[in-house]
Amino acid sequence: MSNHLAMKQALADIEHNAGQNDAVRESGHCIVLAGPGSGKSKTLIIAMARALLEDVIDPRGVACITYNNECAIELEVRLAKLGIESNHRTFIGTVHSFALTQVITPYARCIAGLLPDDFRVATRDEMRAAVEAAYCAVFGNAGDPHKRWRLAEQKRRRDVDRSLPAWRGRNSDLADFIEAYEAILRRNGLIDFDDMPIIAFRMIKEHLWIRNALRARYPVLFVDEYQDLGHALHELVWLLCIHGGVRLFAVADIDQSIYGFTGANPELLNELLERVDVKTIRLRFNYRSGSKIIHASLGALGEERDYRSVDGTSDGELTFWPVQGDHDLQAQHIAEAILPSLLDRDFKPEQIAILYRAAWLGDKVAEALERIEIAFVRTDSKALVRRSSRLARFIEACAGWVTGGWRSADPPYGWLLGQALSIVYGGRASEDEKQALSRQLIAFLRGGIDVGETTHAWLNRFLHELVKPWQAIARNVHQEWEVCLEMIARTDPAKALDIPLNFLSGRIEGAGRVTLSTLHSAKGREFDAVIMFGINNSDIPNRRDYESDLALREARRLFYVGVTRPRQELCFVFRKHHHSPWVAELYHRCQRG
């Protein structure tokens, strides 16, 4: 199907939804407020495709900033289905990646004294050493440098524009700490992640020619999950869009703002919503969940919204499972009663998720499932595939190609090659470099077809045949080669951790795997059935949530995110007589209808 034919079909699909239709055709600054299951990603993707095909003339393109690499990869894959392949006309990635690859790398050498030509991104150990040295220089040897640094990180992410009085006028000792830390990194030719948007902001603000160059290349900026992206992104949007002539298209949901600990601030979005030159469009239909679940979700949020179900969808179901016992017994009850109940009613394992607040709760569920031999996959901090890592997702996709994807071009080889070029060269490579990399990649992939390798053996071959040669030629200053070593360690056969390669790729014959995820990691995903585990009065909300109104509101939004993940059934598991007060509110709301 041609690009224009695919685009025509996509536009026809949303004609019945006035909000989506208006959003994708909007030609000015636009914020799409989209509740759970309202088709925000679909709207964003169609708007991007339409801009590339109809509004922006080649070789100009569009940029899209996402919360994490997993979101970026999903958007790339879905755009490819509309015939829009990743190329020089599109940037899709995090605000850190945008700052590094679109601002710092191409333009920093033009600004004398900003960064050394051979700068790179610091490792975790190098950052820790710099924190300790800076702390000693500013505060002496007494105290915990890393505890103090956590406060400094908050200031660093909040006070992006250091020309304002707040930089030194508010917590000047932390400003000294930060500046000493950054000076140590620079002496060693290093930057870190938080440096990236800060340096990019400074470059764009102080050099109009950089702002003009970015506008010339990307006349439209798309932002996914605006409420999660914090002060650095907000300052860049203000420079590029509000004052710089780039058109803004953003999707957001303040009710799902759950990343305050990373510097996200939903009030930043309100600053844009109040502007008369920014159009606001609301998506009100929930295409995901049944009406009972939608009704319950508003009880979970504690505020009324006008979200509604689509005619013809099922009501959905809510069930409450009080357990006489602690987290271990609650996990056991999930494994022995709740999951069998769902499976007996033909819910597929891969469409069931068990959600919890912290990874240590996931350990308890994993142990309970292992005892009765129910297969599962974790997407929390204990996951084999680190969802935020582009290299880890690339490794997973390569495994998918080897274990059957080569037959159906799922994933397409061209997409794999594009990811490899991005990982090694930051996306900028000569034709000879592209050909050489392609030969290496295809030789490795073909060598794994139908040979029966386990994940551990295949990963070791990936390390020696791809990672080590690529390390030697890489120009990408942000490298994640240690991710491959982590995955090898997590599949060590000596510890009985090795798995078939089709488990890594997700191509499993027969029964699938139940998903185990934290509430944070589940954001943006959907399942037929969701089990919310550990919804006790001491867990959500917990003691820290009660320390401030802001913390309590964010915890409530986190609860809301979990409640809005299922399509058909939502199960709450808690200690009997010790349930979360929010479960009680939700239960009484459902009883009232």
Q: Tens digits of per-residue pLDDT, 124-139?
A: 899 999 999 999 999 9
| d(C-alpha 547, C-alpha 56), whole Å | 49
pLDDT of residue 2: 63
pLDDT of residue 299: 76
Six-digit token string for 433: 């470099």
pLDDT of residue 379: 84
| d(C-alpha 494, C-alpha 232), whole Å | 45
**Model confidence, pTM:** 0.85
Mean pLDDT of 329-340: 96
Six-digit token string for 582: 């929010």
Residue 509 above 60 pLDDT? no
pLDDT of residue 353: 96
pLDDT of residue 261: 78
Please report, as a single letter, which amino acid is at residue 152: A
Share of the chain above pLDDT 70, in %: 97
| d(C-alpha 163, C-alpha 334), whole Å | 54
Share of the chain above pLDDT 90, in %: 59
Which residues is 454 bridged to in the sheet? 500
At 502, the pLDDT band (50, 70, 90 cuts) reads confident
pLDDT of residue 592: 66
Residue 1 above 70 pLDDT? no
pLDDT of residue 510: 40
At 293, the pLDDT band (50, 70, 90 cuts) reads confident
pLDDT of residue 161: 92
pLDDT of residue 197: 93
Mean pLDDT of 195-219: 95
Residue 110 above 90 pLDDT? yes
At 507, the pLDDT band (50, 70, 90 cuts) reads low
pLDDT of residue 312: 59
pLDDT of residue 191: 95
Quote the mean pLDDT of the chain.
89
At 273, the pLDDT band (50, 70, 90 cuts) reads very high
At 313, the pLDDT band (50, 70, 90 cuts) reads low
Question: Which range, of 150-164, 188-202, 288-302, averages the lowest pLDDT?
Answer: 288-302
Residue 387 above 60 pLDDT? yes
Mean pLDDT of 192-211: 95
Burial classification of residue 510, based on how many CB atoms lie within 10 Å of its CB (0-12 exposed, 13-18 middle, 19 or more buried): exposed
Question: Which range, of 298-312, 341-355, 356-370, 406-420, averages the lowest pLDDT?
Answer: 298-312
Question: Which range, of 80-94, 431-445, 517-531, 565-579, averages the lowest pLDDT?
Answer: 80-94
Which sign does the torsion angle of CA 18, 21, 27, 29 carry? positive
Residue 511 above 60 pLDDT? no
Which letter, b or e, does each residue of 98-123 get, where b requires 16 or more Cβ atoms within 10 Å of its Cβ? bbbbbbbbebbeeeeebbeeebbbbe
Six-digit token string for 351: 């469409």
Burial classification of residue 126, based on how many CB atoms lie within 10 Å of its CB (0-12 exposed, 13-18 middle, 19 or more buried): middle
Residue 330 above 60 pLDDT? yes
pLDDT of residue 429: 83
Phi-psi region of 279 (alpha: psi -120 to 50; beta: other; left: phi over 0): beta
Torsion of CA 548, 553, 559, 562, to 10 degrees: -130
Which sign does the torsion angle of CA 531, 37, 506, 492 carry? negative
Determine if the peptide bond prior to 59 is cis (ω within 30°).
Answer: yes
Mean pLDDT of 153-161: 93
Asked if 204 contacts 236 with a C-beta cutoff of 8 angstroms, the reply is yes
pLDDT of residue 405: 86
